[in-house]
Structure 1
């Protein structure tokens, strides 16, 4: 067993971080079990845990019964030591939340997106944060890390937005740096579908699954990829932009170039167009089409499901996911996904399971919190936790 009484300050700090990591990974855990896992002496462990408790990093959480008449105090990370800011930005709405270190949301707010973008959007997020901290009674200095999901691609090297058609003034603007400067703590920028995939990994249908994809199908179609428990972003941050897959139409048709062939075949506009063009009532929403249950609607849904199944087969050939999780206004329709599964069984010997997200439209906001939580551990503790990938160094500039 290792004694720490003569350790230099830096070595002791590293030892304390090791103990903290063990507590985070294994809580609730007693000092005796911590000593056994880390190889430190019981005396050394008592000193470290006491210091962590005094500094507010850990707290007692019940007891473990040992031998006759004996019990041991268990410890866990104190979730109120710091707080996280998670934001899901859509083309029409901004969903913002504050969460503690356990990922538990303690306050959230939803309002229309300031589509002027740029500095206007930065100020909107700053205003929402002030509103949330005031309502929750949280001191602003306790906010230590944040993450933002945006409807666009983020270059992993430059951290700049490369595609964001729904909000003005974003591609020539260093949004991440501007947020960090305005809010006073690091903000990690990430594609919204990737963020939703992280939400599924943390709390949804992707828990305890090493390899899965999250497909958001609504107005458009996009995909977040979790491979070996890590988010795959690609060379330009565009991994999972499956709207351009050459499936469902002619990939050389110039009219589909901007939105993508697959999207123009299975997105909500395509569903409405197919329905009206096949003799259905014109002007209906996608929800109304699904709920009509007439012969035309049945045919359209089956055609869309077949095209999506072909896309999933192509995705499976490259990524081999165990599960495909669907979300979005169209992807959340169970009757559609059931048919996707049916068609997959006809074109693949061992198709991946297809399920509808259990988080619904909360996948994005919960994923933003999860990304912020991971960034906090990585930057402030120097920890690389199980299933957590390091955040790009540029995204963490300014972290304490």
Structure 2
């Protein structure tokens, strides 16, 4: 699974005494002695391996962690007492005594994944092992900031009720949004498709959706995590996910980790100086986005006399043999190739995953000409280009992958805070 950097978590309701992700645990009651710290570290390692491996036996855990079997037994007893893991039967069929298997207790934590888009909002509630227990997709009320918040709160209430839990039981909510979350002001920057979110404190009001800890992440970055965890990016250390649709953005994975840049703006390729014009000037968009996004495709078609209400109409016309539509597609492919030439020169990715409404749905028309044009623009052989197979759920799956990894640490530390192991 592709990992992101430790997230900046907001805590509207959590009052556990401390927050610590991935480091040595400190306890609010005083300094723990060396033995207690080692014990907690062992339990963290065992819990992480059960989370990674699924149903697993004590000998398998000893092999995976390098810990002794007696240490594994103590750790499992503590984790079971904290209701983080549970025994799930025996593995039979091999010579010798049957091995008792353990797994993460699914109800030990809950993750709410949220994709806030211009056209749709998508929410999924999953238990700690990633099983989605409730989900909703609805047309977004993005034209009004207050209405979309109300919509998200309503859906979150429906999902938790369906799962039989309270909103406060959610361990972590992960919100995927366009633009960049300015953590100092709470503003969403570079998100013109979500009016109202540029006001100070806007992102912080997401705390009202569930009242539980939450993270706000760029939607395209989450999509890259989704591809790394569940899609074409699995097992690939260097790849980019390029979303082309209502807007344009890119998620960058380097050495298997999400790269955000110094201010979280890595991948804002909508502002690349690509396209040779700006037909949508004055709408807060960069040059590349102005010509290659869905609106840019429709505008290009209109200049050629082709009446199309959506970019999808243009691509359908091209598939039907319309010459004007084919000319628009050729121009679109050229714009994308020039943008990817810059990306390739700087990042040298092994794979480019095209997503979004255009990238994923028009791959049959775009991948071959983009690949051909890109080969003439870069010094070495171009990266492989493929269309995402996860759309329209890429952002949601990325939020889920991000949330599950983080929630695992949170439930562990809550258990330590509530009842120190040992």
| Structure 1 partner of 2:3 | none
Of residues 96, 105, 114 in structure 2, which corresponds to 1:69?
96
| Equivalent position SS for 1:369 | helix
Q: TM-score if structure 1 supplies the norm length?
A: 0.84
Q: TM-score if structure 2 supplies the norm length?
A: 0.80
Of residues 106, 109, 112 in structure 2, which corresponds to 1:82?
109
CA contact 1:79–1:100 (8 Å) conserved in 2 = yes
Alpha-carbon separation, structure 1, partners of 2:277 and 2:156:
46
Of residues 40, 45, 49 in structure 2, which corresponds to 1:18?
45
1:149/1:13 CA distance change after superposition, 3 Å? same
2:404 equivalent to 1:373:
yes
1:379/1:155 CA distance change after superposition, 3 Å? farther
Spell out, residue by residue over 1:92-151, the C-alpha distance to the aligned partner (whole angstroms, 9 max, x if none).
Answer: 332111011222322111234344655554443222111001122234443110100112
Q: 1:80 deviation in Å?
A: 2.5
| Structure 1 partner of 2:381 | 350
1:291/1:123 CA distance change after superposition, 3 Å? closer
1:208/1:156 CA distance change after superposition, 3 Å? farther
| Structure 1 partner of 2:264 | 237
2:291 equivalent to 1:265:
yes
CA contact 1:117–1:169 (8 Å) conserved in 2 = yes
Alpha-carbon separation, structure 2, partners of 1:84 and 1:225:
24
Q: Map of 1:177-256 to 2, 5 A cutoff?
A: 177-180=204-207, 183-250=210-277, 255=281
2:78 equivalent to 1:47:
no
Spell out, residue by residue over 1:47-98, the C-alpha distance to the aligned partner (whole angstroms, 9 max, x if none).
Answer: 3212322332223356456863333223222223211011111123321110
Alpha-carbon separation, structure 1, partners of 2:78 and 2:201:
40
Alpha-carbon separation, structure 1, partners of 2:310 and 2:144:
29
| Equivalent position SS for 1:216 | strand
Runs of at least 5 residues in structure 1 that lack an aligned partner in the other structure = 1-5, 384-400
CA contact 1:176–1:188 (8 Å) conserved in 2 = no
Of residues 94, 104, 110 in structure 1, which corresponds to 2:137?
110
| Equivalent position SS for 1:361 | coil
Spell out, residue by residue over 1:358-398, the C-alpha distance to the aligned partner (whole angstroms, 9 max, x if none).
Answer: 00111111112122223223444469xxxxxxxxxxxxxxx
CA contact 1:58–1:76 (8 Å) conserved in 2 = yes
| Equivalent position SS for 1:347 | coil
Q: 1:12 deviation in Å?
A: 2.4
| Equivalent position SS for 1:263 | helix
| Structure 1 partner of 2:419 | none
2:358 equivalent to 1:330:
yes
2:304 equivalent to 1:285:
no
1:64/1:83 CA distance change after superposition, 3 Å? same
Which one scores higher on RCO, CA 8 angstroms, separation ≥ 6? 2
| Equivalent position SS for 1:239 | coil
Higher mean Cα deviation, 346-355 or 151-160? 151-160
| Equivalent position SS for 2:281 | helix
Alpha-carbon separation, structure 1, partners of 2:187 and 2:288:
26
1:167/1:307 CA distance change after superposition, 3 Å? closer
Alpha-carbon separation, structure 2, partners of 1:263 and 1:234:
20
1:269/1:82 CA distance change after superposition, 3 Å? same
Q: Map of 1:149-164 to 2, 5 A cutoff?
A: 149-155=176-182, 160-164=187-191
Alpha-carbon separation, structure 2, partners of 1:365 and 1:128:
15
| Equivalent position SS for 1:68 | coil
Q: 1:318 deviation in Å?
A: 0.8
| Structure 2 partner of 1:390 | none
Q: 1:242 deviation in Å?
A: 0.9
Alpha-carbon separation, structure 2, partners of 1:221 and 1:14:
42
| Equivalent position SS for 2:96 | coil
